[in-house]
Amino acid sequence: MILSTNRAALVVAFVLLPALASAQTVSGTVTDASSGQPIPGATVVVLASTIGVRTDVDGGYEIELPPGQRRLEYSFVGYRTETVTVEPGQTVVDVALEEDLLGLDEVVVTGLGTSVKRSNSAISVETISARELSEVTTPQTLDGALNGKITGAVVNSNSGAPGGGINIRLRGITTINGNSQPLYVVDGVIVSNDAVSNGTNAVSEASGGGNASSQDNPVSRIADLPAEDIESIEVLKGPSAAAIYGARASNGVVVIRTKSGAAGRTEVSLSQTVGVASIQRTLGSRQFTAATAEATYGPAGLAAFNAAGGRTFDLEEELFGNDGLLLTTNLSVSGGNDRTQFYVSGIVKDDEGIVAGTGYEKQSGRINLTHRLSDLFEVDANANYVRSVANRGITGNDNSGATFGVGLLATPSFVDLRPGADGEFPDNPFNAANPLQTRDLATIEETNNRFFGSGKATVNLLTSATQSLQLIGVGGVDYYALDQANLFPVQLQFEPDDELPGTSSLGRTTNLNTNVQLLAVHAYAPEGRDLSFTTQAGLTAFDQEFDNVLTVSRGLIPDQQNLNLASSIQTNQNRFFQNDRALFAQEEVSYRDAVIATAGLRVERSSANGDVSDYYAYPKAGLALNLTNLGVLEGGAVDLFKLRAAFGQTGNTAPFGSKFTTFGTSTIASNAGLVLEGRRGFAGIEPERATEFEGGLDLTLFGGRVNLEATAYTKVVDNLILDRQVEPSSGFTIETFNGGQLRNNGVELGLSLVPVSTDLVQWISRTSFWANDAEITELTVPPFQAIGGGFGNTLGSIRIEEGRSPTQIVGTDEDGEVVALGDVSPDFQMSFFNDIAIARRLRLTVFGHWKKGGDNINLTELLSDLLGTSPDFDEDNDGDGTADGLQRLDASGARRFVQNASYFKLREVGLYYDVAPSLFGPLAGGLRTLRVGVSANNLFTITPYKSYDPEVSNFGSSPVASGVEVAPFPSSRTFNVHVRVGL
């Protein structure tokens, strides 16, 4: 609700001022132009004043014009805004509003307490509506629903495991070692998007080899927030838009507004989705002969091959071939009266994954309330409790053979791993684990209980015909308690290997985010002038306390899970905190809605900085020139022609611990020892600073049928927080410091069209294009491998090097020289959104996404070659008599692992039909609307990439190092059937 306070202020202002009624009174009705139905709740304001009213339930209004003011503006969400000049003596003005098919008149965020119409904005702000987010198909998690929908973003799913886990980079690379994910703000509250490792490293031992990351693809916790409750998402992509969020906003800000009720009839909506998920793409497996079995696996291979007697067994199908049932039920009730509005929803989701036993469940309950105590005082309260359960299995890299992926790759097709008649699983002779046994007997489950709550109080301290002053206080909490319980029972093939059969682990994480924000907003519109001013100033306080305890017990008493029923118990606790305090002020000046200038400053200090008392300043400025409103380019085909330019700075505070040099503990023979950790702290650590210049033009033509938005930006990040590998002979391996610079240049183009708009057919089309070019322009240290950036030069790694892209892949070539081999970042991306409505009842939506360029390091293929199971191992494409698999193994250098990961994905398709009320029959009394539909997700993918999915990241949401693939959880395709009933 914070977004529209300025307008609310204007509305309230009117109510106070009956005494000023010396002037003309105007009344009338606001209706929908196409249906003729009245529009209740539409806003009518007197331009260049602070006077406004809302229409009643019949669309009626009455407003008094102060002397000298004649222009009225009519607006409502989803409709184009109309401006009418009242003739002298005219007392009745009826207005029919046209539908805003392209979203041209929606409001966008410009301040913590203010918003502005898109047509007046100096910055490009991406808005994703509920319709685009969750109504084409049913997304499993919020993060997945964003993919491809943000112009200017590189969004990458880390794996196909149920429950989310995504890497979002807005406008290129903004950090090498800091947090790289955007800030998420829900109803004014900064919420947690932590990713907590699930403890499976205890058996996968993934961190024990070439890379210290546990590589378990944790869930990004923003996935907890139910997409179905979201009204809209605004994405502040760069510093020029995000500067108001200061020191944590360099990666952009995702501002989420949840749904709210409207005065009038109580609306009840019940929807049910039933779907099925299946593997999107299979790889197959090598078919052996006695000779190849022996050549690859020796005598043991030959014996096993002969024992199989020619039978083969499709382990991939057995492991990843589950058809997962997807169920989502959503009930929402909303409504209210003039003073109180409410939105209540309950969501139950139960999705199975493509691996039997995996899945994702969610139960959510939300209440959003708005209450006006008086004309002076208004309160909002939002509360959301979410419980989610994810069973994601165990996939990705390991050093123990325990994961599904490595187990699959290690097992030749003549080995049958299914249980025998006695129900006992056979040992896998070619791997430490039988992945089917692990799948069926192990438990890998994370359960999160989370509460989002926020409250807002608005006080209208002062209102007059020319001025208003509001005080706004916002407070919020986001608390979660995450349990990650894993059980690997003694029966598992690999469990006895460490002589401590049976592993039980429990990770307990609690995290509390608290937010307080106080601000004053002053609006001033001098009488008879065309200028208006909006001033705001305030302070914010943000606190986070994170506490993770992981206990791993080995040597379990059979059939037991309790951590104490074991012979070896290891516990590790990790805590972090952050305290940020900021002061901010902003001024917006508008001249006839034609020239809109904004300037603002935020100063902020943080516990993450070396000196916690230092303030860091983040300024911003913007200028929008609406040439149409200026009288230039008015009339004809042009509805709007706007030029805009903006500048802003944001920060990115250092990751927790950067300033400390700390001892860890290491016990030997029951004596507790202290060992210096590998990180050398830097006591003077400062935030990174991103500076952005953005310019663009917005052009609307032909009565709102064509809209072009073009933006170019250059974003420079200075004072980078770099985690460099220090010379290990110092005894440390990593040191954080500030230095260096990187630059992103990019363009974003959005073309929205309404090619057909008749009563029968209405077609809305939106095509976006975006490209970003990043370069490290200054690096004060020698080149280094990005943290999490692969496994060294022989397998390809992501190297930070001056003059190069921060996502470049280097590796050894055929001669052992380290050379550039590729780049993870794409050349450009495009998205295609088409929405065709027939007779306003049948609606087809198709959403496609094209990523051109960008490479992955495909180590799945390497492992399958090494383990002798690549499906094309025995092919001989170059006809030289040597099998391709052998040839790949013998080839030296990392070049063969670096593969083009371009793709085109038909991400979402939905077809819905609104049943005409005349067909409701006996239900006509109770039923208001009935919608039925079908949809599909990831219907197909076209890619040259040789694995399950070109979207992959073994290292999760690491800042630059996505695009490394090691035996991942394959991605899925879903088909859904939907029914929605409105009562």
Partner 1 sequence: MISPRTAAAALALAVLASGCDLVEVNDRPNPNGPALEDILNNPTEAAIANVAVGVESSARTGLGTYLADVGVIGREYYRISPSDPRLTQDLLGGGSSVLDNNTFYLLTPWISRYRTIRNANTMLVALDANETLPDAETSAARGFAQTWIAYQYLLNLNLTFENGIRFIEPGEDAAGEVVGYDEALDRIAALFDEGAQNLASGSEEFFFETTIGQDVPQTVAGYRQINRALAARVDAYREDWQGVLDALDGSFIDSEAPLTIGAYHVFSTGAGDVQNPFFFALGGGGEGVLAQPGFVDDIEDGDTRISKVEERETARTFDGLTSKFDTDVYETSVSPIPIVRNAELVLLRAEANAQLGDRAAAVQDVNVIRNNASLSDYAGDSLIDEILRQRRYELYAEGHRWIDLRRYDRLGTLPIDREGDDVFRQFPIPETENV
- The overall longest dimension of the chain from CA atoms, in Å, is 103
Q: Which stretch binds partner 1 (CB under 8 A): 31-39, 256-264, 572-580, 908-916?
A: 572-580
Q: Which stretch binds partner 1 (CB under 8 A): 231-239, 578-586, 924-932, 975-983?
A: 578-586
Nearest to 840 by CA among 915, 935, 910, 908: 915
Q: How many CB atoms lie within 10 A of CB 397?
A: 30
* Least distance (Å) between residue 983 CB and partner 1: 37
Question: Which burial class, exposed, middle or buried, applies to 303 when counting CB atoms under 10 A from its CB (0-12, 13-18, 19+)?
Answer: middle
Select from 54-62, 673-681, 737-745, 760-768 the region that touches partner 1 (CB under 8 A): 673-681
Interacting residue with partner 1 among 127, 129, 399, 510 (CB under 8 A): 399
Of residues 954-973, those binding partner 1 (CB under 8 A): 966-967
Distance CA 773, CA 770 (A): 10
Mark residue 335 as left, alpha or beta (left: phi above 0; alpha: psi -120 to 50; beta: remaining): left
User: Scanning the structure block, which residue is given the tokens 């438990």?
Assistant: 443
Smaller CB separation from partner 1, 49 or 515: 515
The correct pick among 99, 677, 773, 874 for binding partner 1 (CB under 8 A) is 677
Site for partner 1 in 890-949 (CB under 8 A): 890-892
| Tokens encoding 805 | 């892209």
Would you count residue 870 as binding partner 1 (CB under 8 A)?
no
Binding flag, residue 817, partner 1 (CB under 8 A): no
Closer to partner 1 by Cβ: residue 426 or 871: 426
Q: Is 429 in the site for partner 1 (CB under 8 A)?
A: yes
Residue 952 lies near partner 1 (rule: CB under 8 A)? no
Among residues 678, 739, 853, 871, the one that binds partner 1 under rule CB under 8 A: 678
Total chain residues near partner 1 (CB under 8 A):
119
359-372/340-352 β-pairing: antiparallel
498 near partner 1, rule: CB under 8 A: yes
Q: Which part of the chain contacts partner 1 (CB under 8 A), choosing from 323-331, 726-734, 772-780, 970-978? A: 726-734
Q: Does residue 499 touch partner 1 according to CB under 8 A?
A: yes
Between residue 439 and residue 468, which ones bind partner 1 under the rule CB under 8 A?
Answer: 457, 459-462
Minimum Å gap between C-beta 610 and partner 1 is: 10
- Of 593 and 735, nearer to partner 1 (C-beta) is 735
- The least CB distance from residue 401 to partner 1, in Å, is 4
Q: Single out the residue of 574, 631, 803, 979 in contact with partner 1 (rule: CB under 8 A).
A: 574
DSSP per-residue letters across 863-886 = HHHHTT--TTTT--TT-SSS-HHH
882 binds partner 1 (CB under 8 A): no
Residue 34 sits in the site that holds partner 1 (CB under 8 A): no
Q: Which amino acid is at 226?
A: P
Binding flag, residue 430, partner 1 (CB under 8 A): yes
Q: What residues from 649 to 668 belong to the interface with partner 1 (CB under 8 A)?
A: 657, 660-668
Q: Which of residues 255-314 bind partner 1 (CB under 8 A)?
A: 296-301, 303
Q: Which range in 108-116, 478-486, 885-893, 970-978 contacts partner 1 by CB under 8 A?
A: 885-893
CA distance 576 to 74: 50
Between 67 and 728, CB nearer to partner 1:
728
Convert 504-546 into a string of H (helix), E (strand) and C (coil): EEEEEEEEEEEEEEEEEEEEECCCCCCEEEEEEEEEEEEEEEE
Please state the length of the chain. 983
- b/e string for 496-506 if b means 16 or more Cβ within 10 A? eeeebbbbbbb
Q: Binding to partner 1 by residue 436, rule CB under 8 A?
A: no
Taking CB under 8 A as the rule, does residue 684 contact partner 1?
no
Give 555 or 933: the residue with its C-beta nearer to partner 1. Answer: 555
- Shortest distance (Å) from residue 872 CB to partner 1: 18
- The strand pairing partners of 797, in sequence order, are 790, 810
**Contacting partner 1 (CB under 8 A), which of 812, 829, 902, 938?**
812
Nearer to partner 1, 458 or 902 (CB): 458
Least Cα distance to 755 among 705, 711, 713 occurs for 705
The phi, psi pair for 615, rounded to 5°, reads: -95, 140
Collapsed DSSP state (helix, strand, coil) of residue 890: helix
Among 134, 509, 785, 935, binds partner 1 (CB under 8 A): 785
Query: Alpha-carbon distance 762 to 873, whole Å?
Result: 52
Work out which of 266, 284, 377, 617 binds partner 1, going by CB under 8 A: 377
Q: Give the binding range for partner 1 (CB under 8 A) out of 30-38, 88-96, 496-504, 941-949.
A: 496-504
CB 645 within 8 A of CB 622: yes
Alpha-carbon distance of 840 to 836, in angstroms, equals 9
Q: Least distance to partner 1 from the beta carbon of 272, Å? A: 43
Q: Which stretch binds partner 1 (CB under 8 A): 131-139, 339-347, 848-856, 863-871?
A: 863-871
Find tokens 């509920």 and name the residue: 130
DSSP 209-247: SS--S----PPBGGGGS-GGGEEEEEEE-SHHHHGGGGG
Rounded Cα distance between 530 and 536, Å, is 20
Range in contact with partner 1 (rule: CB under 8 A) among 42-50, 846-854, 860-868, 925-933: 860-868
C-beta of 464: minimal distance to partner 1 in Å?
13
Q: How far is the CB of 143 from partner 1 (least distance, A)?
A: 28
| 336 three-class SS | strand
Is 866 a binder of partner 1 (CB under 8 A)? yes
Q: Would you state the structure tokens that stand for residue 655, as one six-digit string?
A: 């990751």
d(CA 622, CA 437): 60
> Rule CB under 8 A: is residue 599 a binding residue for partner 1?
no
Residues of span 150-209 touching partner 1 by CB under 8 A: 209
Which residue, 634 or 814, has its beta carbon nearer to partner 1? 814
558 forms part of the interface with partner 1 (CB under 8 A): no
Question: Is 563 an interacting residue with respect to partner 1 (CB under 8 A)?
Answer: no
The structure tokens 């929807």 sit at: 271
Q: Which of 404, 284, 147 is nearest to 948 (CA)?
A: 284
For partner 1, give the closer residue by CB, 516 or 599.
516
Write out the binding residues for partner 1, residues 303-362 only, by CB under 8 A.
Answer: 303
The residue (of 287 and 573) whose beta carbon lies closer to partner 1 is 573
Is position 585 an interface residue for partner 1 (rule: CB under 8 A)?
no
Asked whether position 433 contacts partner 1 by CB under 8 A, the answer is: yes
Are 322 and 430 within 8 A, CB to CB? no
Contact flag: residue 213 with partner 1 (CB under 8 A): no
Which residue intervals of 790-930 are DSSP H helices? Answer: 859-866, 884-890
> Between residues 161 and 406, which has the closer beta carbon with respect to partner 1?
406
Shortest distance in whole angstroms from residue 434 CB to partner 1: 10
Question: Of 351, 308, 310, nearest to 329 (Cα)?
Answer: 351
Q: Is 645 in the site for partner 1 (CB under 8 A)?
A: no
Q: Measure the CA–CA gap between 236 and 214, rounded to whole angstroms.
A: 32
Taking the complex as a whole, the smallest distance from the CB of residue 727 to partner 1 amounts, in Å, to 5
Distance CA 480, CA 484 (A): 13
Structure tokens that stand for 514 in this block: 């608290």
DSSP 577-631: EEEEEEEEEEEEEEETTTEEEEEEEEEEEETTSSSTT--EEEEEEEEEEETTTTT
Q: Which of residues 220-259 bind partner 1 (CB under 8 A)?
A: none
> Judging by DSSP bridges, how do beta strands 734-738 and 679-680 pair with one another?
parallel
> Beta strand pairing status for 166-170 and 153-157?
antiparallel
Nearer to partner 1, 362 or 679 (CB): 679
Output the smallest distance, CB 805 to partner 1, in A: 20
